[in-house]
Amino acid sequence: MAHSHSSSVNFFGSVNKVVYEGKNSTNPLAFKYYNSQEVIGGKTMKEHLRFSIAYWHTFTADGTDVFGAATMQRPWDQYKGMDLAKARVEAAFEMFEKLDAPFFAFHDRDIAPEGSTLKETNQNLDIIVSLMKDYMRTSNVKLLWNTANMFTNPRFVHGAATSCNADVFAYAAAQVKKGLETAKELGAENYVFWGGREGYETLLNTDLKFELDNLARFMHMAVDYAKEIGYTGQFLIEPKPKEPTTHQYDTDAATTIAFLKQYGLDHHFKLNLEANHATLAGHTFEHELRMARVHGLLGSVDANQGDPLLGWDTDEFPTDLYSATLAMYEILQNGGLGSGGLNFDAKVRRSSFEPDDLIYSHIAGMDAFARGLKVAHKLVEDRVFEDVIKHRYRSFTEGIGLEIAEGRANFKMLEQYALNNKSMKNESGRQERLKAILNQYILEV
């Protein structure tokens, strides 16, 4: 089979390079809102949005669910083993180019099959990483992040860094060591930890404190090894409250921030926040982004959405304009995502099984976030919510409020103030009016 860039076989034969045609286009293979070179607030859409294609959902997932077999029609599935792994690289780079996607992301086990020993597994990885490096030389696509799959193989039944089995901890360490070498080799802008099975099912058999200590020890070792080999990408940790374990340790942004601070890791890590993980945690996506942002720890985003009627991690492509707008609002207020990006940790539905659905779904997600960016930019520019919030908290800009805000108040002086205060008046929060204004911006920007 063909392995060089120029002689690639054509896995998306019916698809030409996807271009921007504007909001009136009826071409399903064109962008309606994502115009990569359009400048918004001094940066192009491409620079703002930093879209990334997820290798696992797009090139590896076969549509299997707990009730049914594979459904996906993937022309590269005609190959097996390492030939399949190589064909996926060809398909991936063909798609990256056709969508002009600036980034991609993968777990180690998405790109190369496990061998019968760790050594053989690493050799398989080396072959594919070197093939990817060849493609990256002549392509504009970069690696947003890579990570280690430490949840699929049965050895991780009790977790990886939080396993009760020291041999498994050691194996996981070897895997992340290799992952950091891969990150350096491919110039990954970030390295991600998603705590696959880092959690527990019952306290009756779990030393919770020891597992948390071990998780922190593991992450410190990763930070030390990155330093040792000169890998300078940003470390990211991705919260999720449940699935696969009942209690995932990195439950949500607030819990993860507490963990990072408790163990002295907050200067080495930022958060990679996923929309569907936020909803599983009982939060909105924008809540998680805000929580990370105000702590200076907003690093990157897994752009997807859940189905509120199902309530599990459906990883759907993000098409909800409210969510995309409010997410982009947080990202703009953060001054962008730095080395992070918007990674489509999203999969087509099992019933959307044709190869072209992979293109339609990415266009849908990219257009939704492009629109969200434009609306959010206008909201920020017009100071729509900033002025409302500033006005709402104005009692803290003078008198007793200023004393509180500047840390000069104490209980005794506040009691004196309250005893002498003749009138106390609250004002409406006016959230319905604000939601109507948000609607006006979404519909009219």
Contact 221, 268 (CB under 8 A): no
> Residue 125, Cβ neighbours under 10 Å: how many?
23
Q: Is 313 one of the annotated binding-site residues?
A: yes
Residue 315, marked binder: yes
**CA-CA distance, 132 to 134, in Å (whole number)?**
5
Q: Is 247 annotated as a binding residue?
A: no
Cα gap 274→342, rounded to integer Å: 10
Q: Which of 48, 57, 107, 377 is catalytic?
A: 107
Indicate the residue among 233 and 241 with the shorter CB distance to Mn ion.
Answer: 241
Indicate the residue whose CB is closest to Mn ion.
Answer: 313
Task: Check whether 354 is labelled as a binding-site residue.
Answer: no
> Residue 199 in contact with residue 248, Cβ under 8 Å?
yes
Tokens 């976030």 sit at which residue? 369
Residues that bind Mn ion (CB under 5 A): 276, 313, 315
Whole-angstrom Cα distance, residue 31 to residue 35?
Answer: 7
Active-site choice (48, 57, 108, 110) = 110
We find the least distance from the C-beta atom of residue 307 to Mn ion, in angstroms, to be: 12
For residue 190, the minimal CB distance to Mn ion (Å) is 18
**Hey, what are 122's tokens?**
């690493």
Nearby residues of 348 by Cβ (< 8 Å), 6 or more positions away? 57, 317, 357, 358, 361
Q: How many Å apart are CA 258 and CA 271, to the nearest integer?
A: 12
We find the least distance from the C-beta atom of residue 138 to Mn ion, in angstroms, to be 32
107 is annotated as an active-site residue: yes
Residue number, 277 or 371, with CB nearest to Mn ion: 277
Strand (E) positions, 213-330? Answer: 234-238, 247-248, 269-274, 298-302
Is the Cβ of residue 276 or residue 339 nearer to Mn ion in the bound state?
A: 276
Which of 276/300 has CB closer to Mn ion? Answer: 276
Give least dist CB 305 to Mn ion, A: 10
The residues annotated as belonging to the active site are 107, 110
